[in-house]
Amino acid sequence: MHRDSDRHKLFSRRAAMLAGGQFVLLTALTGRLYYLQVVESEKYKNLADENRINFRLLAPPRGRITDRNGSPIADNQQNYRLLLISENTTSVDSTLDALENIIPLSDKERRRILRDVKRNRSFVPVTVRENLIWSQVSQIEVNTPDLPGVLIDVGESRYYPHGEDFAHVLGYVAPVSEGEATGDPLLELPGFRIGKAGMEKVHDLALRGTGGNSEVEVNAYGRIIRELSRQDGEPGAEVQLTIDMELQRLAAERIADESAAVVVMDIHNGEVLTLASTPSFDPNKFNQGLSSAEWSNLVNNPKSPLTNKATRGEYAPGSTFKMIVALAALEHGIITPETEFWCSGKMKLGNAVFHCWRKEGHGRVNCTKALTQSCDVYFYEVAKRLGITRISEMARRLGLGEPLGIDLPHEKGGLVPSPEWKLAEIGTSWQKGETVILGIGQGYILVTPLQLAVMTARLANGGIAVTPHLTRQVISTENTDEQPPTRDFESIGLVPEHLDIVTDGMVRVVNTPHGTAFRARIKEDGMSMAGKSGTVQVHRISKAEREVGVTKNKDLEWKERDHALFVAYAPVDNPRYAISVVVEHGGGGSSVAAPIARDILREVQKRKIATPLGATETTSEREPEGQPETEPSNG
């Protein structure tokens, strides 16, 4: 009996403990359920909604870029995309095989498609091809029954209607690279593109706009059931450039067969009307995706189609530099308008002999005649007396030697040499012979076509330090009524009488029979131009080459031929436009570059892109008889 009593007591204690434990657990569970369902009910209700409802970011339309007259030069167009949903196919490989009868797919494309199919859920569309043409879209639509899982989607993509003509100004857009992610959610959208070069890059943030959002209901697998609400984003701003579309196309067409650059600008406000560089590239290809062969052709082309020669090409200025030397000499009293030097065809300095382009010489010449006929010996003598420091100082005042700050990426600044520069970079002291050769724009000095246009503008506008720009205004919904900002430029302190001497020489270069560019003059009334040619030697023909028949520049390989340069302004009576033309390895400045400048300056005046201030009708003089001098090797 005693043992049975002990067992009963032990069992009772265990039962009580078990019941107590169960009560505690039940109490804790009840409390937890109360906490979750009552206290935290709102939180979990929201989480449940978030599992059922997704918010998706919508890419806004990219803003347009237009020319000065509002004509679009970068726009958006419908983008027909071919998509594939793998769950709707019996076999992805079979669908792709059938699709290849309509649209050929490379092995690389096919591998990419199959890789994307494996990475994504079966109901997520995979892009097969973008930018389909209408004939391809229609063929696919007709054959839809035989292409399970295939569908056409319509979106927007960047489009450049004038292709190569504006490529170096506009740049291009392309997908966001890993290093370009900044945390902006727009950059994470599939297929989103940003500006990579040119004005697309400069104004990328304004052109992007503001993203919208879409509220969609999804199931447990993430598949969209329906769209609940939608708020479209704010389109990107419209960027209006100073470029004139028709003039740009004319310039691009005029130098299409050359490796060349043309810059036209308004000498008073700095608006760049034309900035052309050839050969060029089609920016649409970068948006659509370049093949390996296309990329290789661009980077290996010896004429560098990817380089904007107008702002990044650096060349010796040749005889276009002689106006700078003349101004510096006049300012420092080294010469007067009446100062003359005798040109016998060469000048000796120590043991070195410096030749004029005209072997028999020009005889006695003053500053105006030296500019008109591009006499090298005259400027050898002037530079020798003037010195490198004073020449360099005047060159910088006229816009050479450093970037001008144009609103394009990666502008180069050229090089205006000095004794300090040479000692630091080359490790040797400056020689007087180097100053002599600098007097005709040869040697270490380098300039860009844009700098040459600015130099010419400052000569033509009376010595005002005008700087170039390409952006006229940025128009968004917030600033539709704003006007383009006005720009004030300071004087660079040139003496008007000195400028008159130099510009008179430029007028005579083009409009008198002995001027080096007489053949390229503009004959229409009131449109005459003033200019200066330059021919920069790239390779000196050796004695050995002469013995095998290489006697002229055109006998050399293309890369060894002279560069052709020409700068000008018009109209002479009331200047408004400045131009620079550089043709790489083109030959003579007056025979190759000057006619290009003539044709473009004539057109800009006919179109009255910027009406000359206070222009008046003038009557041209009767064309004088006679023939121009032979084109000089440096002028």
Q: Which two tokens stand for residue 449?
A: 């076509």
Q: 581 by DSSP, 3-state: which? A: strand
Identity of the residue numbered 140: I
Identity of the residue numbered 573: D
Q: 420 by DSSP, 3-state: which? A: helix
Distance between CA atoms of 330 and 338, rounded to whole angstroms? 11
Q: Which two tokens stand for residue 598?
A: 């003539």
Query: 3-state SS of 544-577?
Result: HHHHCCCCCHHHCCHHHCCEEEEEEEECCCCCCE
> Which residues make Cβ contacts (< 8 Å) with residue 59, sequence separation at least 6?
186, 189, 192, 211, 233
Beta bridge partners of 174: 194
Distance between CA atoms of 400 and 396, rounded to whole angstroms? 5
DSSP E strands in 13-163: the ranges are: 53-58, 65-66, 72-84, 126-129, 150-159
Distance between CA atoms of 468 and 479, rounded to whole angstroms? 24
How far is residue 166 from each of residues 200, 235, 430, 480, measured CA to CA in Å? 12, 23, 42, 26
Would residue 160 be called left, alpha or beta, if left means φ above 0 and alpha means ψ between -120 and 50 degrees?
beta
DSSP E strands in 321-400: the ranges are: 341-343, 346-349, 352-355, 363-365
How far is residue 394 from each of residues 494, 531, 550, 632, measured CA to CA in Å? 10, 19, 39, 25
Under a CB-based contact definition with an 8 Å cutoff, are residues 579 and 568 in contact?
A: yes
Identity of the residue numbered 192: F
Q: Which two tokens stand for residue 211?
A: 């993203």
Distance between CA atoms of 130 and 80, rounded to whole angstroms? 6
Cα-Cα end-to-end distance for the chain: 135
How far is residue 591 from each of residues 59, 178, 248, 321, 566, measured CA to CA in Å? 52, 50, 22, 18, 10
Tell me, yes or no, if 319 is annotated catalytic: yes
Annotated catalytic residue within 86, 259, 319, 374: 319
Helix axes 376-386, 322-331, angle to 10 degrees: 40
Distance between CA atoms of 327 and 379, rounded to whole angstroms? 12
Distance between CA atoms of 473 and 469, rounded to whole angstroms? 11
Identify the helix (H) or strand (E) that includes residue 5: helix 2-34
DSSP 130: S
DSSP E strands in 160-250: the ranges are: 173-175, 193-195, 212-218, 224-231, 238-241
Q: Which two tokens stand for residue 394?
A: 């005047």
Identify the helix (H) or strand (E) that includes residue 628: none
Beta bridge partners of 210: 234
User: Mind telling me the catalytic residues?
Assistant: 319
